[in-house]
Amino acid sequence: MKTLQKRFRAFTLIELLVVVAVIAILAALLLPALSRSKAKAQGIVCLNNVKQLQLAWGMYAEDNRGRLPPNESVTLPNKFSWVQGYLNYTSSTQNTNTQLLVDPAYAALAPYIPTYHVYRCPSDPTTVTISGSTYPRVRSYGMNWAIGWPSLGAYKTFNRQSEITGPLPSNLFVFIDQHPDYISDIHFHMNMGTGNAMTFVDYPASHHAGLGVLSFADGHAERHKWQDDRTRIPIQRIAHFLSGLPSPNNPDIAWLQERYSALK
């Protein structure tokens, strides 16, 4: 009885090249879609982070008879505030110290947010090197400087919920996803100049396909599309590298100014 033998034929070079080409085409078609899906998911997480910060901010006020969380300027961890820590690109351990976010001895929001992960946007790529090892920085968000701060000269500051009458709570932003190169102290600062005098002090983040992420004093959070290319600046890993650069008639600055504070 004859033994049946299977014959196996090797791929020819042309067939192999065809297979490789098909795989390359499929990858080219699928990878952008996967990248967009990942970016969308990261944007949703960032929005949820800011929403949680806003809820904690509101709960603190409820527990303190309408007094808003302090927003003190903190270079070193020595003043009680909503969180503490000064971030930059040096080897300072404040860049990585999660205790300044979740320890109630330092952070007013700590009793309401037990995990430090909420303070970092998943799209924030920035790291620091300490003792030869690389670590992610711990915070991506800042608070409107007009909230919880004693005085801004001719402009209103808000230290109690009852003081938020103009802008209205639905139109006063509290937390903002901040451009990584402008995360330093815990504030988001604005220059209130108009027209040709418009400048950014701190830039908002725009790594969610040109979208900013903010929360507001009435409790809602939203994504906002930045309109001007001068707002959507790349990450350079250089602290405040364009701060004070004129950006005349920038509609994004005007939009933020309306939601930052108002003349007394």
Give 222-255 pLDDT, tens digit per residue: 999 999 999 999 999 999 999 899 999 999 999 9
Model confidence at 28, pLDDT cuts 50, 70, 90, reads low
Question: pLDDT at residue 5 above 60?
Answer: no
Q: 55 pLDDT exceeds 90? A: yes
237 neighbors 181 (Cβ within 8 angstroms): yes
Backbone angles phi, psi at 226, to 5 degrees: -75, 135
Number of other residues whose CB lies within 10 A of the CB of residue 248:
13
| Alpha-carbon span 99 to 102, nearest angstrom | 5
| pLDDT band at 9; cut points 50, 70, 90 | low
State the chain's mean pLDDT as an integer. Answer: 90
- The structural domains of the chain, with segments of one domain joined by +, span 14-258
Please tell me whether the overall predicted TM-score, pTM, comes out greater than 0.75 for this model: yes
Strands (E), 101-242: 127-130, 133-136, 141-144, 173-177, 187-188, 211-216, 221-225
**Looking at the predicted structure, is the pLDDT value of residue 135 above 60?**
yes
pLDDT at 2 > cutoff 80: no
Residues 6+ apart with CB under 8 A from 256: 173, 190, 204
134 close to 171: Cβ distance less than 8 angstroms: no
Confidence of residue 89 (pLDDT cuts 50, 70, 90): very high
What was the pLDDT predicted at 11? 60
13 vs 116, more confident: 116
Q: Is the pLDDT of residue 179 over 70?
A: yes
Lowest mean pLDDT among 7-16, 35-44, 168-177, 241-250: 7-16
- Report, as an integer, the average pLDDT of 219-224: 97
Could you tell me the two tokens for 43? 């944007």
Peptide bond preceding 251 in cis form (omega within 30 of 0)? no
pLDDT > 90? residue 22:
no
